[in-house]
Amino acid sequence: MVTRHDQTFFGVRQKRDRMSQALPEWEDLREAASLIKKHTVSHLADYLEQFEQNAVRNGVHVHWAKDAEEYNRIVKEILTSHGVKKVVKSKSMLTEECHLNEHLEQEGIEVVETDLGERILQMMKLAPSHIVMPALHVHREEIGDTFRKLIPDFDEIAKGYTAVSGSTTDKNDPTFLTFVARMHLRRQFAEADAGMTGANFGIAETGDVVVCTNEGNADMSTSIPKLHIVSMGIEKLIPNYKAMGVFQRLLARCGTGQETTVYTSHFRGPRPGGEMHIVLVDNGRSAILGNNEHWQTLKCMRCGACMNTCPVYRRSAGYSYTYFIPGPIGVNLGMLRDPHQYYDNVSACTLCCSCENVCPVKVDLSTQIYRWRQQLESLGHANTSKKMMSQAMSYLFNHPAVYTGVLRLSPMANWIPAPLMNLKLNPWAYGHQMMKFPPKSFHQLWKEKKL
């Protein structure tokens, strides 16, 4: 499992490398993206006003939400006032952040995730383990079993597959299961009363919302139902089309190692006879801007490159983190959300700094994790035994006489019976055999000129 996970995501990282090496201007693009985001984020109030003005002129309803609660309430009100019973939804980490689905389901509104990975997870009642490829940790057998159990017209769809593509001997073949999901989801699009999308980018100068997908599910969700609700974090804004060129070229290359996503859709207004709403969500983002050491996390465009390259993420997978966004960016966003709840994630980093080197917008991810670690003491979350060890070592290394004395006595530890030494009290013995101290130390051997 770990090996497969590691290999899958390192494969994506390698595809990203090939993309970056194919473009001579790669580093200039990253620098431009970083500077554009720095500029936009530091002028965000002005750009939000401009964006709102243009969106309203295009016939869009714009709403503002300061936190998850207000956001959920606004969306619920839009849906209930339109008598919506079923909503089809493309992937959005923001709705995950605000727990929108649970909230709507409590109100009796059926929410159907339409990204294949998200739909699988929704049916299995699991959380995403990656922000771009959320269900890669699930095996095809589990997916097949879930579909057979939960898709009511599974057998009928399977017959249709035989008619189109011939029979398949593997009942969990990904092509077959994707076909089943296709037919199942296309029925949902036709039946839904509203479509919801996130936003990869908002363009201030024109009021566009840009959504990028490979499956076309955001487009299906918004082409058939007449009501479209966009959920957008306020940091998603960029100034204009010129800037959009930079980000469009980076997003898929960094995220999945493709030159582009299949669909890059610009929504600027409602469908004929329809309605379009944009909910601008703060939920802590404006406060992050005031944080001198961590405000640059607002540049992030959620491509997932930092987790694909992270050796800790690749070997431990998404669920080993306590925040819903894993990997380097998740460690930082979790700390900004609530350091007392999510401080344990800062250990999930080797400080190899690979994430900083692949980030398309140059967020200083590992530097920020290092800073958080320095703050653990003042946050009251420093590990007590590590703290004691550090204090003891500090005393030892600052007092040479004590150090030499202890060193001379250390071989005596070899005489302590093993059961006493390999206690839980001795953290070294957890998973290790206690080492043997040599009779003479390096210092002693050096002085006796035996080295």
Partner 1 sequence: MSTREEILKQLRQNARETYDMPQLDHLKPISYADPIAEFIQKTTTTAGAKVVELKEGEQLNDVIQSIANALPSCGGGGAPIIASNLPGVEAQINPDTVAEAQELMKVDVGVIEGHIGVAENACIWIPQTMKEKAICFASEQLIIVLRRDAIVSNMHEAYERIAASKKYFQQYKFGTFISGPSKTADIESALVYGAQAARGVTVLLRSSIDNLR
Chain positions 261 to 300 lying near partner 1, rule: CB under 8 A, are 261-272, 280, 282, 286-287, 289-290, 292, 295
Answer yes or no whether residue 174 interacts with partner 1 by CB under 8 A. Answer: yes
- The residue among 23 and 376 lying less far from partner 1, judged by its C-beta, is 23
- Which residues, 208 to 267, sit near partner 1 by CB under 8 A? 214-217, 219-220, 223-224, 234, 239-246, 248-249, 256, 258-267
Listed as own residue / partner, the contacts of 26-30 with beta carbons closer than 8 Å and 24 or more positions apart are 29/246, 29/249, 29/250, 29/360, 30/250, 30/359, 30/360, 30/361, 30/362
- Which residues, 405 to 434, sit near partner 1 by CB under 8 A? none
Give bridge partners of residue 194 from the DSSP assignment.
87, 227
- Each residue of 301-321: b (16+ CB within 10 Å) or e? bbbbbbbbbbebbbebbbeeb
Answer yes or no whether residue 53 interacts with partner 1 by CB under 8 A. Answer: no
CA–CA gap between residue 79 and residue 286 (Å, rounded)? 27
CA–CA gap between residue 203 and residue 424 (Å, rounded)? 58
Answer yes or no whether residue 336 interacts with partner 1 by CB under 8 A. Answer: no
Answer yes or no whether residue 58 interacts with partner 1 by CB under 8 A. Answer: yes
29 to 78, 200, 370: CA distances (angstroms): 39, 18, 27
- The residue among 269 and 411 lying less far from partner 1, judged by its C-beta, is 269
- 239 Cβ neighbours under 8 A, 6+ residues apart: 36, 39, 40, 47, 203, 204, 205
Answer yes or no whether residue 369 interacts with partner 1 by CB under 8 A. Answer: no
How big is the chain, counted in residues? 451
| Cβ at position 136, least distance to partner 1 in Å | 6
Answer yes or no whether residue 168 interacts with partner 1 by CB under 8 A. Answer: no
| Cβ at position 144, least distance to partner 1 in Å | 9
The DSSP element (H or E) to which 140 belongs, if any, is helix 140-150
Answer yes or no whether residue 178 interacts with partner 1 by CB under 8 A. Answer: yes
- The residue among 261 and 368 lying less far from partner 1, judged by its C-beta, is 261
Q: For partner 1, how many residues bind (rule: CB under 8 A)?
A: 95
The token pair at 138 is 């699930």
Answer yes or no whether residue 124 interacts with partner 1 by CB under 8 A. Answer: no
- The residue among 298 and 348 lying less far from partner 1, judged by its C-beta, is 298
Answer yes or no whether residue 324 interacts with partner 1 by CB under 8 A. Answer: no
Question: 350: helix, coil or strand?
Answer: coil
- The residue among 114 and 345 lying less far from partner 1, judged by its C-beta, is 114
- The residue among 100 and 288 lying less far from partner 1, judged by its C-beta, is 288
